[in-house]
Structures are given as structure tokens and as C-alpha cells.
Amino acid sequence: MENRKHFKNTFFDKWFLNNRFSVILFNLLLFFLIIWVFNKISFVLNPAWLFFSAILPPLLLAGIQFYIMNPIVDWLEKRCKVPRVLTIAVLFVLVIVALIWIINTIIPIVQGQVNSLIKNWPHIWNDAVNTTQNALSDPRLHGVRGNIDKWINNTQKTLFRSGQDTINATIGNISSAVSIITMIMMTLLTAPFILFFMLKDGHQLRPYLTKFAPQRWQESFSQLLYDINFAIASYIRGQITVAFWVGVMFAIGYSIVGLPYGYALAILAGVLNLIPYFGTFIAFIPVLVIAIMTSVPMLIKVLIVFAIEQTIESRLISPLIMGNKLEMHPITTILLLIGASSVWGLWGVVFGIPIYACLKIIISRVYNYYRKVSDVFDDTDDTATRDLILNKDISNKTNK
């Protein structure tokens, strides 16, 4: 009877309590059950989501500026004993002076090039299509010409349809233009105040949040908050710094080779470089079209500029600034960008990687803690353990 009872307990422990597969299935069931429950009570969460979406833009703008300016504030406070409020005030004045200089100097040049590029882009595209078709009129390319013509026609239809949809959506949403402008103005007006208090009191947030955790978990919880903050800060500072230098390098290169609309295309490359792996190549498409329409030597010069920029960025700037702080494989990054863009669009492309990095830190810490306290991940051999215990019992009896 005792053997049978011991067998039943061992069987239950082995296949239900201490079985990894069963525990994983149970956790997945709970996960999808929680999603189902939240879906059923979505009407209760809608007001909370509206509130969150209203405060999100100024928080994001202030948060990005916080991660850029906070290292300067911390360094001056620790090394030079400068009060935080004084450093923040000086930084605000410098930002205002820089904005005034940009508005008076750079924006008029870029605005003129952007307006000219938008005005002449249909003619540039048509000339590019005609040049390509004339080049393909060679009898030796007769087998390839049909496919390329089909691709050009599909591209033209897609661009036309996208432009038409954008115009229709803009016309249809004119009624909400006032609310959008109001949101932008409120964001620009409230973000500096939020930024000021984040810079002033942001270093006290982690100790404040740590107090809400149980006493035995406070140290681990504080380390978790530090790791999440470090990952977000590294990503934001790294991406913005790399994007800035990419724009500067392209602006210098395009001005040297004399590419039309060079400054506008350089700024476009810097902005799109915020999208890892894909941004620079997307921004290089209009550069190729304009270079082809200018001349063949211009195309060669642009390709040389692109090769030099990619070499400097990949060998010097990105390793020096970014390194591998997020510890993400390139394949993981590419797949994450594709999936996040298909689900959340542009927001998924911009925020998919930092959200993934935070979730990775949280899940890995929870997993390590569960592995430490649970018997499910006990890798010791039960048979060897029982034999060791049996040998000790025999040894004790022999000694007695």
C-alpha cells in the first residue's frame, strides 16, 4: 500500500508539479486567460487608454530630452558640485539659442530645397522611368524588360494610390485638424515643464519606487529598474547620436560632390536612420534617382559617398557609441522591426526595440528567480540523489 501511495505521489510530482512542460502550458493558459479577460472588460479600460494617450506625447518628448541632457546634469553635480537647477537653466538657455540659430540659418536652406524637391519630384521620377525604359530597349535585355516594366507600373500605381489615399484621408480629417494642432501646441508647451522636473527630481524616482516592493525584494527590484533605465537610455542616446552623425556625414559628402537637394536628403537620411538597418537604405532611394537623372559621374560619386559613410558608421561610430548594449542579434532586430511595423506601424518601428529590451530584462529576471526557487528546474538526477541518501543510511547503520 505504501509503495503504491509513494508511486502515485511520485507520478503526480513528476508529471504535474515538477514537470517543465506542464508548468509552461499552465503559464500560457493563464497568460491567454488574462488577455481574454482584459478583452471582455475593454469598455472599462477605454477611459484609461484615452487618458494615457493624451499624456503620452509630452511625456515621450520630455523623456527623450531627459535622456540626452541628464548625463550632463549628473556629471556637473557629482564632479563640479554645480546645483542641478542652475545646470538645467543653463541647458534650457543653450537649447533656446540653438533653436533660434537653426530657425534663422538652417531651416530656410532646407525649406527651399524641400519645396524645390517636392515640386520637381514628379518630373524627376518620370525622367528616371523614361531613362530606364530607354536603357532597356537594348535587344539583349528583351527578356528582362517585361518584368522591369511591370515593376515600374506597379510602383507608379502604388505611389499614386498611396498619395490619393493620403489626400482623401487628409480631406476627410479636416474636422480633426484643430484637435491635432491643439495637441501639438499642448505638447510643445507642457513638455519643457515636465522635462524640468524630470531633470530636477528624476534621480529620486528609483529609490521612491523601490520602497513599494517587499523588503526582501527591494535590492533586486532596484537593480531591475536600473537595468531597464540603462537599456532605454543607451538606446535613445545611441540612436540619436548615430543619426546626427549620419546626417552630418551625408551633408558633407553631398555638398562635396555637388548633389542637388543635398542638405534635405542628408536630413532625411539622419531621421530615417532611427530605423535600424532599413532607414539609411530607404533614404538612399531618392538619392539614387536624383543622381541618375543628373549624370553617370554623379551616380558614381554618390555611391562612393554612401560607401564611405557606411564604412565609417559601421566600423567607427556605431561600435563606439552603441556597442552591443542591448545584446540583440541582428536577425532578432530585423524580425522584430518587421513584426512590430506590421502590428503597430510607425510606432512599432520606433518603440519596438526599447520595449523588447525592457521585456527581455523583466522576463529574464523573473525566469532566473523562478528557476532559483522552484524544483521544476532542479537539474540534479533524482536516482543519484536517492542512491547517495541510501549509501549514507547504510554507512550510518554500519557505524552504529
Distance CA 56, CA 54 (A): 6
Amino acid at 398: T
Instruction: Name all contacts of 94-100 with Cβ < 8 Å and 24+ positions apart.
Output: none
Q: Percentage of residues in the chain with pLDDT exceeding 70? A: 74
Residue 220: per-residue pLDDT: 86
- Assign 374 to helix, strand or coil: coil
Whether this prediction's pTM lies above 0.85 is answered by no
Distance CA 226, CA 363 (A): 15
DSSP state of 317: I
Cα 381 versus chain centre, distance: 43
The average pLDDT across 331-358 equals 80
Better-scored residue on pLDDT, 153 or 262: 262
- The x, y and z cell numbers of residue 211, run together, are 520602497
User: Is pLDDT above 80 for 347?
Assistant: no
Q: What is the pLDDT of residues 363-380, one digit of tens each?
A: 888 888 777 776 665 555
Residue 145: per-residue pLDDT: 57
Distance CA 70, CA 146 (A): 57
- Burial of 347 per CB tally in 10 Å (0-12, 13-18, 19+): exposed
Looking up cell 537649447 gives 95
Looking up cell 560619386 gives 301
- The x, y and z cell numbers of residue 394, run together, are 547504510
Residue 149: per-residue pLDDT: 62
Residue 2: per-residue pLDDT: 47
The Cβ of residue 258 has, within 10 Å, a number of other Cβ atoms equal to: 10
- Number of residues written out for the chain: 400
User: Is pLDDT above 90 for 93?
Assistant: yes
Better-scored residue on pLDDT, 261 or 373: 261
At 250, the pLDDT band (50, 70, 90 cuts) reads very high
Average pLDDT, the chain: 77
Better-scored residue on pLDDT, 250 or 398: 250
Most confident of 26-40, 82-96, 163-177: 82-96
Cβ proximity of 341 and 208 under 8 Å? no
Q: Say which range, 125-139, 224-238, 276-290, has the weakest mean pLDDT.
A: 125-139
Name which of 357, 308, 300, 307 is nearest 328 in CA terms.
357
Residue 135: per-residue pLDDT: 63
Residue 94: per-residue pLDDT: 93
Q: What is the pLDDT of residues 177-193, one digit of tens each?
A: 566 777 778 888 888 89
Distance CA 145, CA 140 (A): 10
Which residues 6+ apart lie within 8 Å of 19 measured at CB? 376
At 304, the pLDDT band (50, 70, 90 cuts) reads very high
Residue 356: per-residue pLDDT: 86
Distance CA 219, CA 195 (A): 28
